[in-house]
Every structure is written in C-alpha cells, then in structure tokens.
Amino acid sequence: MELEERVAKIVKVLEKKFGIPQRKSDVDPLSNLILTVLSQNTNDKNRDKAYQRLKEKFPHWEKVMQADVKQLEEAIRPGGLAKQKSTRIQNILTWIHDEYGSLNLDFLCTMNPDDTIEKFCQLKGIGVKTISVVLMFSCGVDIFPVDTHVHRICRLVGLVPQKASAEKTFWLMKPIVPKGKSFSLHMNFLKLGRSICLARRPRCKQCPINQFCDYYLLVLQ
C-alpha cells in the first residue's frame, strides 16, 4: 500500500473513531505565536496559566516588548523555562516590530506558508512546529504540525523513518496527508496519542489503526 493511500485510510478510521474535528480557535496569529512559545516543554494547563498571567500583567504586546525582563519572567513562571522564554518572547516581539512596523501578524494568513516558515524559523524559539501551529489554528492553513504525540505516532506507524526528527517528519508528511485533512489528522493523532498510543505503554490492541501500524504488525504480532 502506498503511503498516500495508507494515510488516507488512517484519516477515515480516526474520523470514524473520534469524529471530524471542528475548528474553534479565534486567536489572532501573534497571540497564538506567543501562546505556542509558552507551550514548549510544558503541558496545556501550565501554558494557559502562564499566558493568563502574562496578559493580566501586560495587557498589550507593546508592554510585553518593553517590560523589565525579570517581571516578564516572573509572570510566565508557571510555564517553565521562564528565563529562556521571557528573553525569546521579547526578542521575537522586537524583531516583528522592527521588521513589519507593528505588533500584528494578521497578514501571515495571506502569505505563502512556505515563505512564512522560512522567514520565521530564523528566530530563536520558533521552529517549524511553532509556526505551523499558528498557521493551522489562526489562519486555517491546510498544514500538518508535528508535535511530540504526532511525531511519535508517525514513526511508530511507519509513515516516516524511525530516526526522523520532528522537523524532518513535518516535511515528509507534507505531500502524503490528503488535501484538506491536515487539521483532522493532527487533532485526531493528538487524541490517539493522549488516550491510546501512549508514550510509555501504548494500548496497541485497542488502537483503531493498528492494522496500518508497523510497530503493531512487526513487533507485537
């Protein structure tokens, strides 16, 4: 079975199991970018707490950009790596302001996604996963972000080589995800990774896509 056909079948099975995900995010691209930076190396609960504290302390991005870095660090502490993230967030905001003249990234939704990735991945703290999350959630771009769960599942199933990095996985998956199904596959892989395909002890017998999975077919049978 060709990879494209295999992925298409996986999409259908997961949609039958978990449903077709609906887009709900109305977060603007800049807010989403900072939110995604805060999400690095932490869980959603801590990310959201850090973001809430950040916005309460500094209601406008200009205030964040101009803030004393120690105060910024304290505000986002619940998200972990506060010293690193505070510096990176300020550097990102300063770069955006210098490059585009304002702290607004709504125009990203009209740019070529590959150009956006190339441009923003030059910045420390922004990788292909971070910017692709922004494009998918805030702009509705048909793009397939690769986070920890997605990366693990793609390798276990055998859609990409076992040693492929998360970034390499992003580029390898790009041509084989069915058109218009990137959001669905990403969200349903997240559900699968959090409920069945667990990192330490995957529940392979319960997995709805085990018939397509190299790990299940080659290792467990």
Q: How far apart are CA 189 and CA 11, in angstroms?
A: 9
Q: How far apart are CA 189 and CA 210, in angstroms?
A: 13
Using an 8 Å Cβ cutoff, are 89 and 37 in contact? yes
Q: Which two structure tokens, joined as six digits, stand for 74? A: 């304290």
Q: How far apart are CA 64 and CA 59, in angstroms?
A: 8
Q: How far apart are CA 83 and CA 91, in angstroms?
A: 13
* Catalytic residue list: 129
Q: How far apart are CA 151 and CA 3, in angstroms?
A: 16
Give the angle subtended at the CA of 169 by the CAs of 28 and 48, to the nearest 5°: 35
173: amino acid identity, one letter: M
Q: How far apart are CA 36 and CA 135, in angstroms?
A: 11
Helices 128-139 and 166-173: angle between axes, nearest 10 degrees: 50
